[in-house]
């Protein structure tokens, strides 16, 4: 009864110029290991979920990339969205399809673009979460011990007195402002939301019905069509009408039956060049070099990436992102990495 929904529709614009709308970061070998992020994620999940029960949620435009990178996946396993509406609509759509196929399904919803190395711990955490959600009507998320007031994450307040490994969530707050995030960190009662959720199809659909009744009714109109030849037409006409909202705001912030399992594996959401830099091997001067040949003098703490082992010569540069990709060369200070997203939209 185990299923997985692999979220692969984001565009990863802070990883420009490697990640682009045409070819986003989940389909790149960001770590230089010979495997793309989605391939790594698929392998990790297939340790405890039957391969044929792993569904890939992505935009129509990426269908061929998915087929090429995951040749074991059948077309029926790729759930295509005609437009981007963030995570709430696509998770609802996929959950309805799964429920129709198997009313007793329990599923993990996982991003396709994160770094998790310890597969043994990951699988053991996941197994634990599956057991918990098979037993009761719970919505579960994996929590990460926070290290700083990052405003790009969801924050989970748990009951400090709860000594059980899986804790009841008191409050879920998506992307608080900086002052609030700082307060949360200082209180030591909060975990970061890893964006990895576990629940049964039944339970999550109940939550949608209660907290997103409009969206729920909208998709239920097409329930008959799901998993039949009529599905594509229904989705083409109706998916674009769904509200653009993430599952964190739509469901997790509102539900009362949310639980958290503090993860026992290291996690990094590879959101920016800097977070990728943290996970890459470094030379003696703390430079991380991917797909490049380098001649460096007075160069420290840089991340350097080219295609095809291009020779890069640098003298006197610290804390920079240097990325050469096709007809773009990016030379950008690491401490302004968040701005790359805006640059990309300005350049358009």
Interaction site with ligand GDD (CB under 6 A): 7-10, 57-58, 81, 84-87, 90, 111-113, 153-154, 174, 192-195, 248, 269
Token pair 């396993």 is found at 77
Least distance between ligand GDD and beta carbon 38 (Å)? 9
Burial of 13 (0-12, 13-18, 19+ CB in 10 A): middle
Nearer to ligand GDD, 107 or 194 (CB): 194
Nearer to ligand GDD, 126 or 317 (CB): 126
Least distance between ligand GDD and beta carbon 121 (Å)? 18
Nearer to ligand GDD, 12 or 320 (CB): 12
Least distance between ligand GDD and beta carbon 296 (Å)? 32
Long-range contacts, 278-283 (Cβ 8 Å, 24+): 279/31, 279/115, 280/31, 280/32
In angstroms, the CA 6 to CA 46 distance is 11
Least distance between ligand GDD and beta carbon 346 (Å)? 20
Q: Cβ of 295: how many Cβ atoms within 10 Å?
A: 10
Nearer to ligand GDD, 90 or 340 (CB): 90
Nearer to ligand GDD, 170 or 282 (CB): 170
Residues pairing with 143 in the sheet? 193, 262
Cis peptide before 245 (omega within 30 of 0): no
Q: Cβ of 247: how many Cβ atoms within 10 Å?
A: 26
Nearer to ligand GDD, 195 or 222 (CB): 195
In angstroms, the CA 190 to CA 222 distance is 39
Least distance between ligand GDD and beta carbon 79 (Å)? 8
Least distance between ligand GDD and beta carbon 7 (Å)? 3
Q: Cβ of 110: how many Cβ atoms within 10 Å?
A: 27
């Amino acid at each position: 009864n185990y299923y997985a929904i692999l979220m692969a529709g984001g565009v990863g614009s802070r990883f420009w110029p490697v990640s682009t709308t045409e070819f986003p970061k989940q389909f790149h070998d960001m770590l230089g290991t010979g495997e793309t992020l989605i391939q790594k994620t698929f392998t990790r999940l297939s340790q405890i979920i039957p391969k044929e029960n792993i569904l890939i949620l992505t935009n129509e435009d990426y269908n061929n990339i998915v087929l090429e990178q995951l040749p074991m996946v059948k077309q029926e396993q790729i759930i295509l969205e005609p437009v981007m509406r963030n995570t709430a609509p696509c998770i609802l759509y996929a959950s309805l399809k799964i429920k129709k196929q198997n009313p007793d399904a329990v599923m993990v919803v996982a991003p396709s673009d994160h770094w998790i190395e310890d597969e043994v711990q990951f699988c053991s955490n996941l197994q634990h979460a599956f057991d918990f959600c098979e037993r009761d009507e719970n919505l579960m998320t994996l929590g990460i011990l926070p290290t700083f007031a990052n405003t790009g994450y969801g924050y989970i307040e748990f009951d400090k007195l709860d000594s059980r490994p899986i804790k009841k969530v008191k409050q879920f707050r998506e992307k608080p402002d900086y002052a609030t995030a700082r307060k949360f960190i200082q209180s030591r009662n909060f975990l970061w939301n890893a964006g990895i959720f576990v629940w049964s199809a039944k339970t999550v659909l109940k939550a949608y019905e209660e907290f997103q009744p409009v969206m729920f009714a909208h998709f239920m109109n097409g329930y008959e069509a799901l998993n039949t030849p009529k599905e594509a037409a229904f989705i083409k006409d109706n998916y674009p009408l769904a509200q653009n909202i993430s599952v964190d705001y739509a469901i997790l912030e509102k539900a009362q039956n949310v639980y958290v399992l503090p993860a026992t594996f290291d996690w990094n959401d590879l959101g920016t060049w800097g977070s990728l830099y943290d996970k890459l091997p470094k030379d003696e001067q703390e430079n991380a070099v991917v797909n490049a040949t380098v001649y460096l003098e007075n160069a420290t703490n840089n991340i350097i990436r080219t295609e095809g082992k291009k020779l890069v010569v640098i003298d006197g540069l610290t804390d920079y992102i240097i990325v050469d990709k096709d007809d773009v060369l990016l030379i950008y200070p690491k401490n302004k990495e968040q701005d790359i997203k805006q640059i990309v939209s300005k350049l358009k």
